[in-house]
Each structure stands twice: as structure tokens, then as C-alpha cells.
């Protein structure tokens, strides 16, 4: 690093955010909060689901017979954290825990018929939500944003 640069400052009303507008994390968080609020309005209120739960359902649906520990690894959370999530989804009748045929410690997660139907409905809502978001960008910019986010996440 060379000389200290003066941080960028933006004004919102009479209020300054200091050096925050010069940080990627600041804009990442703002975009995320905005997107989550939009998701809550357009998908959450209609289908009673959060981005996190929808993600879990997607991974379960895309990997039939997935063990809870594998799901935890995929979502990058602890095994113990998954338990209550699976409890919730099972209580709503969307998934079932099936005993594994090869390992009696394991529970294989599967979507129920209701789960498949509800997920299909959720997917339509999510696609509509995504389309509304994407409308803020050109198709090229949306592609570019995805590429840059993947690059940043490693």
C-alpha cells in the first residue's frame, strides 16, 4: 500500500456514512437486505417460506435421499442446526425422514407429494421475484453481476 487515500463520502440527507460507501461489504449488505425484503413481500407472504428454507428444499429436491449431515455440509451450517429446519419442513408435510437402507444412523431426506407440489408453486413465485429484480439491470449486467459475485466468493 502507498499513501492513504481519502475515503469516498456520500451524503444521504444531512447524514454521512463515512468510509462505508467505499467498501464492497457495505453495498453487498444493502443489496442483500433489499433483495430479502423483496423476497419476503413476493414469495414469503404468499408461500410462507424464507430464502433459507427455500434453499434447503431446493437441495433436498435436487438430491433425493440426501442425509442430514450432507445437507448441513451443502448449506455450510452445523449438523445440529439442520435438525430444527428438517423438523419444520417435516411438520409442514413437505419432506419426510426415511431410514437409510445402508446405514442405520442415517436419515434420508425426501420430498413428499405435497412437498413437490408446494415447491413447484414456490419456484414460480421465486422466478417472478427474480424477474422483477433482474428488471433493474440489463441482461448483460445481470450476467456480469453473477460472474463478479462468484469471483468474489471464490
Partner DNA sequence: TATTGTTATACTCTATAACTATA
Partner DNA sequence: TATAGTTATAGAGTATAACAATA
Name the site residues for DNA (rule: CB under 7 A): 50, 52-53, 67-69, 72, 76-84, 86, 97, 103-107
99 contact choice in its own copies, DNA, none (CB below 5 to 8 Å, kind-dependent): none
Dihedral angle sign, alpha carbons of residues 127, 133, 145, 72 = negative
The DSSP bridge pattern shows strands 107-111 and 95-99 to be antiparallel
What is the distance of C-alpha 10 from the center of its chain? 30
What is the distance of C-alpha 52 from the center of its chain? 5
User: Could you list the residues that contact its own copies (CB under 8 A)?
Assistant: 1, 4, 6-10, 12, 15-20, 22-36, 39, 51, 55, 58-59, 61-66, 70, 73-74, 76, 98, 108, 110, 123, 126-128, 130-131, 133-134, 136-137, 141-142, 144-146, 148-154
Amino acid at each position: 500500500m502507498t499513501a492513504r487515500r481519502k475515503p469516498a463520502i456520500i451524503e444521504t440527507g444531512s447524514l454521512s456514512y463515512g468510509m462505508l460507501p467505499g467498501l464492497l461489504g457495505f453495498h453487498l449488505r444493502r443489496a442483500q437486505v433489499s433483495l430479502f425484503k423483496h423476497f419476503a413481500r413476493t414469495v414469503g407472504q404468499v408461500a410462507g417460506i424464507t430464502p433459507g428454507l427455500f434453499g434447503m428444499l431446493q437441495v433436498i429436491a435436487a438430491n433425493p435421499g440426501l442425509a442430514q449431515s450432507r445437507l448441513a455440509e451443502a448449506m455450510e451450517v452445523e449438523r445440529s442446526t439442520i435438525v430444527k429446519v428438517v423438523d419444520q419442513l417435516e411438520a409442514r408435510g413437505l419432506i419426510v425422514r426415511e431410514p437409510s437402507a445402508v446405514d442405520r444412523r442415517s436419515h434420508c431426506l425426501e420430498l413428499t407429494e405435497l412437498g413437490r407440489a408446494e415447491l413447484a408453486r414456490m419456484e414460480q413465485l421465486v422466478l417472478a421475484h427474480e424477474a422483477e429484480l433482474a428488471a433493474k439491470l440489463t441482461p448483460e449486467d445481470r450476467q456480469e453481476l453473477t460472474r463478479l459475485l462468484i469471483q468474489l466468493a471464490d
